[in-house]
Amino acid sequence: MNSPQKYKSRSTNRRHRITVVRTTRTNDRGVVKTVDEEVGTYWSSVTPLTEQLRIQYQTMNVKATHAIGLDGRVMVEEKDKIKFGDRVFEILTIKRVDELDRDQVLITEEIRPK
């Protein structure tokens, strides 16, 4: 008998609402200002990395803490930030899961307030 998990839709795993925030620079009469603008809000899966994966990323000098799964059609850049409730994540790298770009995984680091 086939497991129902095998045929489960990828979209059912995306139960968290995140907001993609892009920082842009504007020049206002000689004064350069940085402005955060929200690009969009999307369904995603936000999961902390296992200790084994954290150690693997640390050997490459990457301080990754979470993986965020998104639809492949969402246009995200590595300079963007992710807001998840009150939490903010910095995108370290973007991994395309398959060659059809149906899914992407953002390897991120949670930015702690100082």
Instruction: Supply the pLDDT for residue 25.
Output: 87
58 or 40, higher pLDDT: 40
Instruction: Supply the pLDDT for residue 73.
Output: 85
* Residue 71 domain-assigned (yes or no): yes
Instruction: Supply the pLDDT for residue 106.
Output: 93
pLDDT bucket at 112, cuts 50 / 70 / 90: confident
Long-range contacts of 59-67, Cβ-Cβ distance < 8 Å, separation of 24 or more: 62/92, 62/93, 62/107, 63/92, 63/109, 64/92, 64/107, 64/108, 64/109, 65/89, 65/108, 65/109, 65/110, 66/107, 66/108, 66/109, 66/110, 67/105, 67/106, 67/107, 67/108
* Residue 2 domain-assigned (yes or no): no
* Residue 48 domain-assigned (yes or no): yes
- The CATH number of residue 68's host domain is 2.40.10.270
Look at residue 91 and tell me whether its pLDDT is greater than 90.
Answer: yes
> What's the predicted TM-score (pTM) here?
0.79
